[in-house]
Structure 1
């Protein structure tokens, strides 16, 4: 809501303070740039201060610097003060979603819908209030942000628990650990169970080296070009008063909120997270290109902006869900790494868009924004193989069984040139139904199962004409088998999507993938795509029996 309050008054600030559009766009650039850099330290800060104190300090900083902005008389003073505002927002963003998930009992998906809905409602009411206040004076929306943050401060102070349960649980667990344990085993146990107590400034950088985090971060970076082009640049070309801009973004924000609640979960269930992102962002590309073609048509711009709320609301919910699922082991560090990358795009986009629109052509930013979103879709599609399956599994909290607890660790691996006859011997001798295929660096290529081999050895019968069946002696089934068992893995395997698990994935997720895709086995890989384990249907069955016996 605080961010939305300022958006409608961007043209008013430009007119009343005699600033160029590019200078006014610096309000977003400095704000987002500081947020990006601050994300690298806020994770450590929040782990030391705790959730409540971090949130309170964040809203107080926003309140102070927004009021000081309203008291300023120079656009560059406001640009400088927005840095402090961005720091406060970084502290808030670093833990806000993590806090909601934690206090909801680790119900990730419902928490994200709640979070994105709240953001959408803020985006809808913020511009309306900002437009009404901005019609009186450009200063009033800044004061309005200060009052909102003061209200947030009071709510946090009164309603949020006094201290984080993580800290108390850590001390209790440390006290309870058996004295016979070795100290290094103690430390390992505690670090795995309470990662927030062992934070380092290098943790976000370590996570950025993981392919799945970097892929979604770069995707968010590219997507933010399109989003902030629409959000920060379009007020300059709408040709409306502050109140008019406020009403346009009121409609936009309402659709952001409602699509987060009602559409995103249904799209995710029907098409899957990543496919749904492809669909909604393809429409966003079309909307931005239409805005680029009809920039001088006010009605087209208004309708396009409002309609884009549906697409942005869906995408934000789907993307946040994917990121939180991928980083379920340590969400705050994952959020820090991901937001650092994507906020760089938020910093560059407004400045680049207004510079191009002001100095070259007013329609060029929308076209460029559409191109960036298109590149984001292509990038995600090409790197989809590095992202784990995030669909169909709800987060079951800290007590859920995870893959490393029940996977087979001593994995028999084969190379692409291994003969079928040798694979059959390995399958029989070790009583397994599938083996991972790896390259010379032990990285996963594919997985071959007994079903793949049977289908290859006994191909579908081919139709022959009468002449062929009478005069041509066909190979006997035995001849075919004798010939094909000496073929290699690469002769058997056909191109297909490879599904994998990580050691931190839940039992429910493993069960879901095996049942949905009718797999017999699924490989477990590390962040370098090396095979570290394997999960089979029998592993799932055995654990289901244990759970049933435990419940009874």
Structure 2
């Protein structure tokens, strides 16, 4: 292992505290996957209703992203992180004690608000405290995302075998630990906060590079969440089977985020890498459609999809951070808002298509969406020239993002 790679893993305790909280926060994305059939059975809900557990969460996360940079620039990064974690804790607990699917859908929306506050601030906070380059920061962040997405379904499967309420109680416990760790370990230099105008993320969407990336991410996230949120139904497994399937999916995502994406970016431009990875995801989704009646074939397509998604996630994150001269927190807020709205539309649409046309059609719909994402990057490549020619620098990034008073 090179000295550079070793430095990635030698970080102060406050970085590991925030990364642990990232893992727990990202667990919320896939946590309900293994228990969707159980919730549908126990609470007499339709598949479309259960898929709304993803939609309410992602809609609120996406819309809240448009105002989180304005909030964090006024109250500081640490306060924003803690408010986000506290909201996740509260709404996960409310989900655990709910008695109807409609109540859980509503509480998942509150969970999404907490998630938006946390996610929008966590990367900037890690950059401000990390040792190494911004590239290594993104590697750690994407590794946390991958682990969270992997552990979420596994925990959901293990605890879901006992009760559909179990996974929610599990998050409550882990979030309490994360709250304590971040509140006690996170510190930082006192610095003057730079208030960000409320309109900044909205105006950022008019910047050509952000518009291209946000549009591409909207369609890409449809593919992401059809694979994640719809697949438990055609798989036909119990909670443990779904949990282990998506544990493998998340581990695959983490591996390619940490090792494969950086390797590709050392050999090619960011847009070139995206124009390779996105068509591969399109093919994988078409394969999933053809093998939807074969458990082994569908599981294979899901795992392979995880490998491709890890590459795309990391490269898109780097690209949006370097595509413009906007403060990174503003660019990220605008891009993430549109991206999450794409993900929100996918699960209920997939369920409706399933009932109307069969289980293969949602995957073909997802493949067509990813193909549109590919076309968006290809047609908008000129607007992304800055990202192709710009190396991410940690100090520049930390300075540009308003991380506020983290003390």
User: More helix per residue: 1 or 2?
Assistant: 2
Q: Find 1:320's aligned residue among 317, 323, 330.
A: 317
2-structure distance, mates of 1:3, 1:97? 17
2:195 maps to 1:169: no
Instruction: Between 234-243 and 5-14, report the one with greater CA deviation.
Output: 5-14
Deviations 1:461-516 (A, max 9, x none): xxxxxxxxxxxxxxxxxxxxxxxxxxxxxxxxxxxxxxxxxxx9xxxxxxxxxxxx
Deviations 1:315-348 (A, max 9, x none): 0001101111225651111111111111110111
Q: Counterpart in 2 of 1:204?
A: 201
Q: Is the 8 A contact 1:106 1:395 kept in 2?
A: no
Q: Counterpart in 2 of 1:148?
A: 174
Q: Is the 8 A contact 2:209 2:324 kept in 1?
A: no
Q: Find 1:10's aligned residue among 18, 33, 36.
A: 36
Q: Find 2:257's aligned residue among 256, 260, 269.
A: 260
2:102 maps to 1:76: yes
Query: Highest CA radius of gyration, 1 or 2?
Result: 1
Q: Find 1:274's aligned residue among 271, 274, 290.
A: 271
Q: Counterpart in 1 of 2:157?
A: 131
2:349 maps to 1:341: no
Q: Counterpart in 1 of 2:57?
A: 31
Q: Unaligned stretches of 5+ in structure 2? A: 1-26, 401-407
Report the TM-score when normalising by structure 1: 0.65
Q: Where do 1:130-529 residues align within 5 Å? A: 130-161=156-187, 165=189, 168-170=190-192, 197-327=194-324, 329-391=326-388, 393-398=390-395
Report the TM-score when normalising by structure 2: 0.88
Aligned-CA RMSD value: 1.8
Q: Is the 8 A contact 1:105 1:397 kept in 2?
A: no
Deviations 1:285-312 (A, max 9, x none): 1110111122111111001101111100
2-structure distance, mates of 1:328, 1:156? 30
Residue-pair matches, total: 373
Deviations 1:25-66 (A, max 9, x none): 111111111111111221111111111110111011011111
Q: Find 1:20's aligned residue among 19, 33, 46.
A: 46
Q: Name the CA shift for 1:397/1:310 in 2 (closer, same or farther; >3 Å).
A: closer
2:93 maps to 1:67: yes
Deviations 1:80-112 (A, max 9, x none): 111110100010111111111222268221111
Deviations 1:268-298 (A, max 9, x none): 1112211111111111111101111221111
Give the 3-state SS of the residue equivalent to 1:347 in structure 2: helix
2-structure distance, mates of 1:214, 1:19? 37
